[in-house]
Amino acid sequence: MIEQVLELARNGERFLVACHRRPDADSLGSALGLIKTLRAIGKDATLFMPEEIPDSLLFLMDGEQGLAQIPDGVRYDATWVMDIAAKALLPPGFPRSEVTGPVVIIDHHHAHDDVGDVVYRDTDAAATGEVVVRLIDELGLDSLPEGSATPLYAAIVSDTGGFRYATTRPATLRLGARLVEAGADPWHVAYQLFERWEPARLRLLSAIIATLEMAFDGRVAIMRVTREMLEICDADDDMVEGMVNYARRVEGAEIGALLWEWRVRGAGGNHLETKISLRSRGNADVSVIAAALNGGGHRAAAATQLNITIDEADELLRTELAKYLG
């Protein structure tokens, strides 16, 4: 399938590049890396970004401007969506097919649905950023495009948990070194992604940990965050990112889960949905559970977002956990 992707890149002239809903470092870093690559081969490439970018990821933009909506009359030769495993995770306001052209999926999740017209998915890759570097090499560029090293390094370091997760292979570390040699600053990226905590985020962490509940004889650790908790702590949604990892750290827990009330803003007003983030120590495959809830992800990290209340989502999650755990 890479041949079809390369053909689209070479033959098209105008491209749109999008992230999955609520972009993370891998999705946004991969999108920015691809945009730099397409421009390096003489193409017009634009970032589609209808949602607010989390504060922790703003450093990746480096002056790049995203489109919140597509201007009337604009058509693209193809639209690339980065790091997406499920149609439900397409960003809000994703354009119609007559605008997008073929939808190209660049991804690395092994649990996924059939979203996309053209799909290049490497389930052995540690991050979608790794897949983008492979495209760069296959396109025959002599070096990494200017400005691409930092976003691609952030994509990889984020999805490997700072090169700690089981997806980290010797090739992953060599790729990290290559990106550092090309200009990525490891401490700057690590500080922005993992270290830059405001007092409100620490207060939120305390509140979330207070909700901890052990289920299934201690095999599952479940936490939640509500809009009320965010308001009391003077925190925002960006500060919730990564909190699910504290559930995974509980001794004896095979699976950590975080249920998160998420406010969706639309033309019809605001409503609450529930995002479920899942983590495992590696033995449990949480992507199976997420897929059963119309989401996707990896064996050790997966997620979904459901248009139901947090209590309803909790019940559904426990039902799927019971099936999975037997």
pLDDT of residue 269: 64
Predicted local distance difference test score (pLDDT) of residue 15: 98
Q: Can you say whether the dihedral through the CA atoms of 238, 179, 2, 168 is positive or negative? A: negative
Q: Does the pLDDT value for residue 107 go beyond 80?
A: yes
pLDDT of res. 267 = 55
Q: How far apart are CA 282 and CA 165, in angstroms?
A: 9
Is 120's pLDDT higher than 70?
A: yes
pLDDT bracket for residue 300 (50, 70, 90): confident
Residue 109 and residue 100 in contact, taking contact as beta carbons nearer than 8 Å: no
The superfamily in CATH containing domain 2-194 is: inorganic pyrophosphatase (n-terminal core) (3.90.1640.10)
Tokens of 110: 């092994």
pLDDT tens for each residue of 25-51 = 999 999 999 999 999 999 999 999 999
Least confident among 10-19, 24-33, 37-46, 165-174? 165-174
Please give the pLDDT value at position 89.
Answer: 86
Domain boundaries along the sequence of the chain: 2-194, 199-325
Q: Is 3.10.310.30 the CATH number for 199-325?
A: yes
Q: Are 39 and 102 in contact (CB under 8 A)?
A: no
pTM listed for this prediction:
0.84
Q: Provide the H-helix boundaries in 41-147.
A: 97-100, 128-138
Q: What is the 3-state secondary structure (H, E, C) of 156-187?
A: HHHHCCCCCCCCCCHHHHHHHHHHHHCCCCHH
Within 10 Å of residue 29's Cβ, how many Cβ atoms?
Answer: 33
Which residues on neighbouring strands pair with residue 304, listed in sequence order? 276
